Amino acid sequence: MENAWTHTTVLLSEAVDALLGQTPGTRLDDAAGAVFVDATFGRGGHSRLILSRLSPGSRLIAFDKDTDALAEAARIDDPRFSIRHQGFSHLGDLPEASVAGVLLDLGISSPQVDNPARGFSFRFEGPLDMRMDTTRGQSVAQWLAHAGVDEITEVIREYGEERFAGPIAKAIVARRQTRGDLVTTTELAQLVADTVKTREPGQNPATRTFQAFRIYINAELEELQQALNASLNVIKPGGRLVVISFHSLEDRIVKQFIAEHSKDVYDRRMPLSLPKNKKLKALGRVKPCMSEISRNPRSRSAVMRIAERLAA
Ligand SMILES: C[S@@+](CC[C@H](N)C(=O)[O-])C[C@H]1O[C@@H](n2cnc3c(N)ncnc32)[C@H](O)[C@@H]1O
């Protein structure tokens, strides 16, 4: 069903301004031809605005794991644009210091959440899948069919910050032994609702468990850390790193990464030696304004962090 679900891009102009360095006094899209990366194409909201502002000699390379995103990208008829069906941890495959800016708009797109067949949402009945890339890897249902209580507990606790991780994991394994594997989203949502007796106001009891399984099955935090590390190699001095995150686990990684590389590093064993140069300069943190949040409630948890790659 083409175009049945749409994605409203979060921090659209703010992210593109930050990426292209179109804050007053600067412009990174130089005449010599710059290369920018949209590491999370989604439905191409950011990519299309970047292309509309890019000079003729510049290029935009996009990444996405999702074949539906790739199909949408195929509609862009622009020789400056290309997309790779890869995790953004492959950013490091690009040549060293070849890129003027990298944008990461993390998490999943609205079409992924809203399509019951993808299994991301407890609101719709669907297969318990949750893979961004349905061409490889195991689904949540396949993983839960063999994972042990300790492993499931750790995933729910670590990635869902769920107090009832242990009881939920035990209930999943007990159900497997008595009634067979969990195969649908609603079976999992019901099991969690039956297990977690207290309710957080305004939140479905399965929210944290679904978030945890999604993060785990897509190795989201590992991919993010790898992409951030790779960005230091591929972004050239003066170039930008722009990251939009939607929950505290992601934002903590981004914040710590920028902080760690924004300070001089001294070697304690050699007190008189010069410090190793810092690699990044933090340029700020932006949140959606009230009018964006009222237009697009999914933007309310977004935090964008911007950093500039300093000369080595
Ligand atoms: C929030 S959406 C991006 C929306 C996009 N900025 C737009 O305006 O349409 C995130 C997208 O990134 C993709 N994605 C998430 N993690 C990824 C990863 N590690 N590697 C590649 N793509 C990823 C998802 O499949 C999804 O399509």
Tens-place pLDDT, residues 128-163:
999 999 999 999 999 999 999 999 999 999 999 999
Ligand 1 atom nearest 42 alpha carbon: 27
- Mean pLDDT over 272-290 rounds to 88
Ligand 1, pocket-test mutation among 3, 10, 40, 88, most atoms within 8 A of CB? 40
- pLDDT attached to residue 30: 60
Q: CA 281 → CA 39, 104, 234, 266, 278, distances in Å? A: 21, 17, 16, 17, 8
- Is the pLDDT higher at 153 or at 24? 153
- Mean pLDDT over 263-283 rounds to 79
Burial status of residue 74 (CB atoms within 10 A of its CB: 0-12, 13-18, 19 or more): exposed
Give which of 109, 112, 43, 96 is closest to 73, Cα–Cα.
43
As a whole-number percent, the residues of the chain with pLDDT over 90 amount to 85
* 193 pLDDT tier (thresholds 50, 70, 90): very high
* Contact by Cβ (8 Å): 19, 29: no
* 83 pLDDT tier (thresholds 50, 70, 90): very high
Give which of 107, 90, 64 is closest to 251, Cα–Cα.
107
Mean pLDDT of all residues in the chain? 93
- pLDDT attached to residue 1: 41
* Contact by Cβ (8 Å): 69, 109: yes
Give which of 280, 308, 305 is closest to 15, Cα–Cα.
305
Distance from C-alpha of 274 to C-alpha of 169, rounded to nearest angstrom: 51
Please determine, for residue 276, whether its predicted confidence score (pLDDT) is greater than 90. Answer: no
Cα of 64 vs centre of ligand 1, distance in Å, is: 6
| Residue identifier of the C-alpha nearest atom 24 of ligand 1 | 108
- Is the pLDDT higher at 197 or at 59? 59
Please determine, for residue 167, whether its predicted confidence score (pLDDT) is greater than 50. Answer: yes
Give which of 283, 75, 121 is closest to 214, Cα–Cα.
121
* 5 pLDDT tier (thresholds 50, 70, 90): confident
For the chain, the distance separating the N- and C-terminal CA atoms, rounded to the nearest angstrom, is 49
* 198 pLDDT tier (thresholds 50, 70, 90): confident
Please determine, for residue 199, whether its predicted confidence score (pLDDT) is greater than 70. Answer: yes
| Residue identifier of the C-alpha nearest atom 22 of ligand 1 | 64
Order the strands of the 81-84 sheet from edge to edge.
Answer: 81-84, 59-63, 35-38, 99-105, 235-245, 303-309, 280-286
Q: Which residues line ligand 1 (CB under 6 A)?
A: 7, 9, 40, 42-46, 63-66, 69, 87-88, 105, 107-109, 132, 223
Cα of 36 vs centre of ligand 1, distance in Å, is: 16
- Is the pLDDT higher at 27 or at 94? 94
- pLDDT attached to residue 197: 80
| Residue identifier of the C-alpha nearest atom 7 of ligand 1 | 45
- pLDDT attached to residue 274: 66
Ligand 1, pocket-test mutation among 41, 130, 299, most atoms within 8 A of CB? 41
- pLDDT attached to residue 23: 52
89-138 pLDDT, tens digit per residue, is 999 999 999 999 999 999 999 999 999 999 999 999 999 999 999 999 99
Cα of 1 vs centre of ligand 1, distance in Å, is: 20
- pLDDT attached to residue 26: 53
Please determine, for residue 270, whether its predicted confidence score (pLDDT) is greater than 80. Answer: no
pTM: 0.93
- pLDDT attached to residue 32: 63
Residue 82: φ, ψ to 5°? -145, 155
Query: How many of the other CB atoms lie within 10 Å of CB of 302?
Result: 24
Query: How many of the other CB atoms lie within 10 Å of CB of 259?
Result: 12
- pLDDT attached to residue 263: 84
User: Picking from 3-7, 44-48, 183-187, which range would have the lowest pLDDT averaged per residue?
Assistant: 3-7
Cα of 196 vs centre of ligand 1, distance in Å, is: 31
* 28 pLDDT tier (thresholds 50, 70, 90): low
- pLDDT attached to residue 25: 45
Query: What are the residues facing 82 on neighbouring strands?
Result: 61
Cα of 21 vs centre of ligand 1, distance in Å, is: 22
- Residue 284's region, left for phi above 0, alpha for psi from -120 to 50, else beta, is left
User: Picking from 22-31, 113-122, 205-214, which range would have the lowest pLDDT averaged per residue?
Assistant: 22-31
Ligand 1 atom nearest 244 alpha carbon: 1
- Mean pLDDT over 37-57 rounds to 96
